[in-house]
């Protein structure tokens, strides 16, 4: 049997590897522009069939063949747009379970994004069929029926008879997850998606600052967060159980799926629509794809919907994550000396605040009866004024034991400076402060 399969020619195999893919294209070509017909089951078939075809064509050198390059690029376009569509469809299906607040605009923009993606697939389908005919690849006569691609939603839900409320919630895992959420939110915050960008601004940041690699990095971080949550905190779904924890999961779940979608669209733009190369065939195919998938709209949806709402939900989730964190951290207190000679001026205040912000839990600097927020440089410096005025030599820090441990280490090197105020090397345990 293996020998028989090896005897198949390229023409025979390209027909086999194109069959399901082209059937999907025939099906899409005959659909009305109604998003109800574009289901996760359809997208999964498109993803599977386009990927195996793309792999087959790449194996045979289609990327370096003028006759086959366009057919290969069309399969890549279908795959990436289908993966993005699958993630966006998942968000629309699950939105009611995420228990997010004020989602009207988010849902509206999400549907606009989904409609752009399916409209692009509908433009691609007849072009793919024409290209297949040009290459003498038979187009299947038998079409799919709509009942073969049902949606995942029904009016029935299974009984909730596995109670996860009594699971032994290990506080250390909850603390770690909440801290990591805050860290991700803080790092993503630097990208600054607080308002829509015009096209000129988008083109300035894509792909130099915002690109597939950067977004995939955040996607992996959030995926790890979700995986740890499901493994160590709550196994169950969204409907019952500890609401705060499940609301937090809803927050980073929607962020994860938005990052999945935007990462895939950025990949498609960078690889297939942006600066396709110096060869004429590459430029020609890039221009052809741009007529089918509008690059400007794709970037607008990626930035002004996808990454804007990633930033939005990370920001709105910070208060909840901080609340959960402070309910579960182990608390203690330490008494330490003040920075020798110069007291709590800029460098010591900044390093203490960075330690506290790194872990995210509450820590207070106690000076007599007064308490100061140790995550705030300004608050610490206010405390420094009182310390200097009253000639205090020892203070107390109270709160998250993780931060207190590192503050204790910091004090062992006089808060990172010598008595003249010059910086000194920090212990390896504090390498994250550099």
User: Does an H or E element contain 334, and which?
Assistant: strand 331-337
Backbone torsions φ then ψ of 399, nearest 5 degrees = 140, -140
pLDDT of residue 266: 97
Distance of alpha carbon 157 from alpha carbon 179, whole angstroms? 34
Mean pLDDT of the chain: 92
Q: What is the Cα Rg of the chain in Å?
A: 28
Interatomic CA distance for residues 404 and 396, integer angstroms: 10
Mean pLDDT calculated for residue range 199-210 = 95
pLDDT tens per residue across span 281-325 = 888 999 999 999 999 999 999 999 999 999 999 999 999 999 999
Tokens representing 338? Answer: 């003040």
**Claim: this prediction has a pTM higher than 0.75:** yes
Dist CA 351 CA 374 (whole Å): 10
- Residue 145 CA, chain-centre distance (Å), reads 35
- Measured in degrees and rounded to the nearest 5, phi and psi for residue 241 equal 100, -170
Is the distance from CB of 411 to CB of 401 less than 8 angstroms? no
Indicate the fold that domain 330-433 takes in CATH: 3.30.1340
Q: Which of 343, 434, 428 is nearest to 394 (CA)?
A: 343
Q: Give the mean model confidence (pLDDT) for residues 242-248.
A: 87
pLDDT digits (tens, 9 = 90+) for 26-62: 999 998 777 789 999 999 999 999 999 999 999 999 9
Asked whether residue 277 carries a pLDDT value surpassing 70, the answer given is no
Nearest to 183 by CA among 216, 124, 147, 225: 225
Instruction: Round to whole Å and give the CA distance between 53 and 42.
Output: 17
Name the 3-class secondary structure at 236: coil
Say how far apart CA 220 and CA 82 lie, in whole Å. 20
Q: Which two tokens stand for residue 327?
A: 């309910």
Say how far apart CA 90 and CA 289 lie, in whole Å. Answer: 26
Domain ranges of the chain: 1-149, 168-328, 330-433
CB atoms within 10 A of CB 327: 12
Specify the pLDDT at position 317. Answer: 95
Which pLDDT score is estimated for 171?
Answer: 84
Report pLDDT digits (tens) over 110-138.
Answer: 999 999 999 999 999 999 999 999 999 99
Tell me the pLDDT band of 166, cut-offs 50, 70 and 90.
Answer: very low
Asked if residue 270 has pLDDT above 90, the reply is yes
Torsion of CA 290, 293, 297, 301, to 10 degrees: -130
Nearest to 72 by CA among 92, 95, 52: 52
Identify the band that residue 274 occupies on the pLDDT scale cut at 50, 70 and 90: confident
With a cut of 90, say whether residue 163 has pLDDT above it: no
Paired with 396 in beta bridges are 335, 366
Whole-angstrom Cα distance, residue 255 to residue 218?
Answer: 10
Of 158, 34, 152, residue with least CA distance to 92: 152
Cis peptide before 192 (omega within 30 of 0): no
pLDDT at 169 over 60: no
Q: How confident is the model at residue 241 (pLDDT cuts 50, 70, 90)?
A: low
pLDDT band at residue 172 using 50, 70 and 90 as cut-offs = confident
- Which of 254, 223, 255, 273 minimizes the C-alpha distance to 80? 273
Q: How far apart are CA 359 and CA 41, in angstroms?
A: 42
Which segment, 84-88, 94-98, 167-171, is predicted with the most confidence on average?
84-88
Cβ of 51: how many Cβ atoms within 10 Å? 17
3-state DSSP call for residue 366? strand
Reading the block at residue 335, the tokens are 């008494």
Burial class (CB in 10 A: 0-12, 13-18, 19+), 58: middle
């Amino acid at each position: 049997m293996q020998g028989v399969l090896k005897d198949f020619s390229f023409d025979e195999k390209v027909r086999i590897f194109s069959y399901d893919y082209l059937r999907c294209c025939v099906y899409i070509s005959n659909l009305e522009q109604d998003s109800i017909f574009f289901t996760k089951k359809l997208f999964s078939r498109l993803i599977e069939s386009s990927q195996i075809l793309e792999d087959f064509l790449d194996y045979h050198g289609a990327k370096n063949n003028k006759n086959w390059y366009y057919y290969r690029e069309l399969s890549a376009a279908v795959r990436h747009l289908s993966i993005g569509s699958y993630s966006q469809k998942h968000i629309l299906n699950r939105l009611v379970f995420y228990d997010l607040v004020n989602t009207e605009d988010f849902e509206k923009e999400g549907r606009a994004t989904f409609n752009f993606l399916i409209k692009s697939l509908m433009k691609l389908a007849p072009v793919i069929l024409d290209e297949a005919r040009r290459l003498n690849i038979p187009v299947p006569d038998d079409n799919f029926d709509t009942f073969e691609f049902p949606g995942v939603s029904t009016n029935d839900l299974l009984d909730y008879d596995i109670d996860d409320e009594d699971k032994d919630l290990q506080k250390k895992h909850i603390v770690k997850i909440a801290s990591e959420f805050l860290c991700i939110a803080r790092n993503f915050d630097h990208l600054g998606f607080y308002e829509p960008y015009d096209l000129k601004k988008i083109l300035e940041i894509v792909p130099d600052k915002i690109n597939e690699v950067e977004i995939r990095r955040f996607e992996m971080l959030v995926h790890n967060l979700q995986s740890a949550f499901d493994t160590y905190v709550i196994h169950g779904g969204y409907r019952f159980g500890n609401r705060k924890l499940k609301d937090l999961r809803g927050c980073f779940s929607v962020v994860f799926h938005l990052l999945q979608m935007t990462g895939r669209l950025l990949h498609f733009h960078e690889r297939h629509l942006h600066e396709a190369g110096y060869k004429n065939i590459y430029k020609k195919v890039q221009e052809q794809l741009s007529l089918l998938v509008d690059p400007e709209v794709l970037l607008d949806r990626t930035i002004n919907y996808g990454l804007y709402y990633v930033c939005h939900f990370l920001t709105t989730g910070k208060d909840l994550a901080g609340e959960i964190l402070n309910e579960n951290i182990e608390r203690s207190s330490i008494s330490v000396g003040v920075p020798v000679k110069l007291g709590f001026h800029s460098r010591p205040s900044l390093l203490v605040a960075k330690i506290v912000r790194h872990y995210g839990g509450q820590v207070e600097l106690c000076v007599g009866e007064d308490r100061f927020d140790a995550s705030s440089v300004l608050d610490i410096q206010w405390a420094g004024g009182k310390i200097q005025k009253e000639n205090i030599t020892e203070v107390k820090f109270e709160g998250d034991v993780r931060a207190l441990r590192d503050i204790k280490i910091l004090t062992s090197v006089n808060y990172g400076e010598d008595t003249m105020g010059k910086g000194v090397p920090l212990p390896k345990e504090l390498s994250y402060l550099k």
